[in-house]
Amino acid sequence: MAYCVDKSSVFGFSLETGISKDRESSKRYLSNLRGMVANEAVLEEMIKKENSLVYEFYEMGVPEHPGDLAFGTTICYPGKVADEYFMTKGHFHAILDVAEVYLCIKGRGLILMENPEGDCLYEVLTPGKMAYVPKRYAHRSVNIGKEPFVQFFAFRADAGHDYGTIETRGFRKLVVERNGEFAIIDNPKWGKN
Protein backbone atom coordinates (compact mmCIF):
# COMPACT_ATOMS: atom_id res chain seq x y z
CA MET A 1 0.00 0.00 0.00
CA ALA A 2 1.43 3.37 -0.98
CA TYR A 3 0.85 6.37 1.21
CA CYS A 4 0.37 9.98 0.26
CA VAL A 5 3.76 11.64 -0.28
CA ASP A 6 2.24 15.08 -0.72
CA LYS A 7 1.62 15.34 3.02
CA SER A 8 4.04 14.93 5.90
CA SER A 9 4.05 11.63 7.74
CA VAL A 10 5.85 9.91 10.59
CA PHE A 11 7.00 6.32 10.86
CA GLY A 12 8.38 4.37 13.79
CA PHE A 13 11.44 2.10 13.79
CA SER A 14 12.80 0.43 16.88
CA LEU A 15 16.37 1.58 17.55
CA GLU A 16 16.97 -1.81 19.17
CA THR A 17 15.66 -4.13 16.46
CA GLY A 18 14.94 -1.99 13.39
CA ILE A 19 11.41 -3.39 13.36
CA SER A 20 8.55 -1.11 12.31
CA LYS A 21 5.03 -1.67 13.51
CA ASP A 22 3.73 0.39 10.58
CA ARG A 23 4.23 -2.28 7.90
CA GLU A 24 5.05 -5.94 7.27
CA SER A 25 8.69 -6.76 6.51
CA SER A 26 9.93 -8.78 3.54
CA LYS A 27 11.79 -11.85 4.79
CA ARG A 28 14.64 -13.81 3.23
CA TYR A 29 15.57 -17.26 4.52
CA LEU A 30 18.58 -19.55 4.01
CA SER A 31 16.77 -21.13 1.05
CA ASN A 32 16.70 -17.71 -0.65
CA LEU A 33 20.53 -17.73 -0.67
CA ARG A 34 20.74 -20.81 -2.93
CA GLY A 35 23.19 -20.08 -5.73
CA MET A 36 24.62 -17.10 -3.88
CA VAL A 37 27.00 -18.60 -1.29
CA ALA A 38 30.44 -20.15 -1.73
CA ASN A 39 29.58 -23.42 0.04
CA GLU A 40 26.27 -24.70 -1.34
CA ALA A 41 26.65 -28.13 0.36
CA VAL A 42 26.84 -26.57 3.82
CA LEU A 43 23.89 -24.31 2.95
CA GLU A 44 21.75 -27.36 2.04
CA GLU A 45 22.71 -29.08 5.32
CA MET A 46 21.67 -25.99 7.25
CA ILE A 47 18.34 -25.72 5.38
CA LYS A 48 17.61 -29.38 6.21
CA LYS A 49 17.98 -28.63 9.92
CA GLU A 50 16.17 -25.29 9.92
CA ASN A 51 15.45 -22.80 7.16
CA SER A 52 16.45 -19.84 9.35
CA LEU A 53 15.66 -16.20 8.72
CA VAL A 54 18.81 -14.52 7.33
CA TYR A 55 17.50 -10.98 6.85
CA GLU A 56 14.35 -8.90 6.61
CA PHE A 57 13.69 -5.39 5.40
CA TYR A 58 11.01 -2.75 5.56
CA GLU A 59 10.16 -0.72 2.48
CA MET A 60 7.63 1.95 3.22
CA GLY A 61 5.80 1.82 -0.11
CA VAL A 62 6.77 5.22 -1.46
CA PRO A 63 5.50 5.65 -5.03
CA GLU A 64 8.31 5.35 -7.60
CA HIS A 65 8.60 9.02 -8.49
CA PRO A 66 12.01 10.59 -9.22
CA GLY A 67 11.45 13.36 -6.68
CA ASP A 68 10.49 11.08 -3.80
CA LEU A 69 12.69 9.14 -1.38
CA ALA A 70 12.33 5.44 -0.68
CA PHE A 71 13.44 4.48 2.84
CA GLY A 72 13.24 1.81 5.48
CA THR A 73 15.34 -0.56 7.56
CA THR A 74 17.33 -3.69 6.79
CA ILE A 75 17.96 -6.22 9.55
CA CYS A 76 20.63 -8.82 8.80
CA TYR A 77 20.87 -11.53 11.47
CA PRO A 78 24.16 -12.98 12.74
CA GLY A 79 25.36 -16.29 11.39
CA LYS A 80 27.55 -17.94 8.77
CA VAL A 81 27.29 -20.47 5.95
CA ALA A 82 30.58 -22.34 6.53
CA ASP A 83 32.97 -19.37 6.97
CA GLU A 84 30.88 -16.87 4.96
CA TYR A 85 28.90 -14.37 7.00
CA PHE A 86 25.15 -13.95 6.63
CA MET A 87 24.41 -11.27 4.04
CA THR A 88 21.73 -9.74 1.90
CA LYS A 89 21.49 -10.73 -1.76
CA GLY A 90 22.60 -7.28 -2.85
CA HIS A 91 21.67 -5.38 -5.99
CA PHE A 92 22.46 -2.69 -8.49
CA HIS A 93 19.84 0.01 -8.92
CA ALA A 94 17.89 -0.37 -12.16
CA ILE A 95 18.73 3.29 -12.71
CA LEU A 96 22.45 2.70 -12.20
CA ASP A 97 23.23 6.35 -11.51
CA VAL A 98 21.47 6.45 -8.11
CA ALA A 99 23.33 6.61 -4.78
CA GLU A 100 22.02 5.47 -1.38
CA VAL A 101 22.76 6.04 2.29
CA TYR A 102 22.86 3.35 4.99
CA LEU A 103 22.94 4.43 8.63
CA CYS A 104 23.85 1.70 11.14
CA ILE A 105 21.67 1.79 14.22
CA LYS A 106 22.65 -1.56 15.81
CA GLY A 107 25.30 -4.23 15.52
CA ARG A 108 28.46 -4.43 13.44
CA GLY A 109 28.50 -5.06 9.75
CA LEU A 110 29.82 -3.94 6.46
CA ILE A 111 28.57 -2.77 3.12
CA LEU A 112 30.25 -4.53 0.21
CA MET A 113 30.18 -2.56 -3.05
CA GLU A 114 31.32 -2.99 -6.64
CA ASN A 115 30.74 -1.17 -9.90
CA PRO A 116 30.37 -2.69 -13.39
CA GLU A 117 34.03 -1.88 -14.16
CA GLY A 118 35.12 -4.11 -11.25
CA ASP A 119 36.09 -1.53 -8.65
CA CYS A 120 35.37 -3.08 -5.22
CA LEU A 121 34.83 -1.14 -2.00
CA TYR A 122 33.68 -1.85 1.53
CA GLU A 123 32.86 0.16 4.63
CA VAL A 124 32.58 -1.19 8.17
CA LEU A 125 29.60 0.18 10.10
CA THR A 126 28.82 0.40 13.79
CA PRO A 127 25.95 2.33 15.42
CA GLY A 128 25.97 5.99 14.40
CA LYS A 129 28.12 5.41 11.28
CA MET A 130 26.57 6.04 7.87
CA ALA A 131 27.85 4.67 4.58
CA TYR A 132 27.37 6.62 1.37
CA VAL A 133 26.99 4.11 -1.45
CA PRO A 134 28.04 5.93 -4.63
CA LYS A 135 25.95 5.80 -7.75
CA ARG A 136 26.76 2.86 -10.09
CA TYR A 137 27.83 0.57 -7.21
CA ALA A 138 26.03 -2.67 -6.38
CA HIS A 139 25.70 -3.05 -2.61
CA ARG A 140 25.23 -5.84 -0.11
CA SER A 141 25.00 -5.77 3.70
CA VAL A 142 27.05 -8.33 5.63
CA ASN A 143 26.74 -9.05 9.35
CA ILE A 144 30.26 -9.52 10.77
CA GLY A 145 29.11 -9.23 14.39
CA LYS A 146 27.29 -11.33 16.94
CA GLU A 147 24.01 -9.41 17.13
CA PRO A 148 21.56 -8.24 14.45
CA PHE A 149 23.05 -5.67 12.04
CA VAL A 150 20.36 -3.00 11.70
CA GLN A 151 20.49 -0.14 9.20
CA PHE A 152 18.25 2.64 7.99
CA PHE A 153 18.45 3.37 4.25
CA ALA A 154 17.18 6.04 1.87
CA PHE A 155 17.49 6.51 -1.91
CA ARG A 156 15.68 8.02 -4.88
CA ALA A 157 12.28 6.35 -5.05
CA ASP A 158 12.24 5.50 -8.76
CA ALA A 159 15.72 3.88 -8.80
CA GLY A 160 14.39 0.32 -8.86
CA HIS A 161 16.38 -2.85 -8.16
CA ASP A 162 18.44 -5.06 -10.43
CA TYR A 163 18.87 -8.29 -8.43
CA GLY A 164 19.43 -10.47 -11.49
CA THR A 165 22.99 -9.38 -12.26
CA ILE A 166 24.19 -10.36 -8.78
CA GLU A 167 22.06 -13.53 -8.71
CA THR A 168 23.67 -14.81 -11.89
CA ARG A 169 27.20 -13.44 -11.56
CA GLY A 170 27.74 -12.93 -7.82
CA PHE A 171 29.92 -10.31 -6.18
CA ARG A 172 33.61 -10.28 -7.05
CA LYS A 173 34.49 -10.46 -3.34
CA LEU A 174 33.34 -12.63 -0.44
CA VAL A 175 33.33 -11.73 3.26
CA VAL A 176 34.55 -14.63 5.39
CA GLU A 177 35.78 -15.25 8.91
CA ARG A 178 39.51 -15.79 9.39
CA ASN A 179 40.82 -16.28 12.95
CA GLY A 180 37.78 -14.60 14.48
CA GLU A 181 37.85 -11.51 12.23
CA PHE A 182 36.41 -10.75 8.84
CA ALA A 183 38.48 -11.02 5.67
CA ILE A 184 37.64 -9.95 2.12
CA ILE A 185 38.66 -12.58 -0.41
CA ASP A 186 38.19 -13.10 -4.15
CA ASN A 187 35.03 -15.01 -5.06
CA PRO A 188 36.31 -18.09 -6.91
CA LYS A 189 32.87 -18.59 -8.51
CA TRP A 190 32.48 -15.02 -9.76
CA GLY A 191 30.99 -14.89 -13.26
CA LYS A 192 30.99 -18.69 -13.62
CA ASN A 193 27.26 -19.35 -13.13
Q: Which residues bind Mn ion (CB under 5 A)?
A: 100
Nearer to Mn ion, 102 or 182 (CB): 102
**Number of H-type helices and E-type strands within the chain:** 2, 15
Which residue has the closest beta carbon to Mn ion? 100
Nearer to Mn ion, 111 or 144 (CB): 111
Nearer to Mn ion, 80 or 90 (CB): 90
Distance CA(34)–CA(152), nearest Å, equals 26
β-strands 53-59, 69-76: how paired?
antiparallel
CB of 70 to Mn ion, least distance (A): 9
Distance CA(18)–CA(13), nearest Å, equals 5
CB of 82 to Mn ion, least distance (A): 27
Nearer to Mn ion, 46 or 159 (CB): 159
CB of 179 to Mn ion, least distance (A): 32
CB of 32 to Mn ion, least distance (A): 17
Strand order in the sheet with 120-125: 120-125, 109-114, 138-143
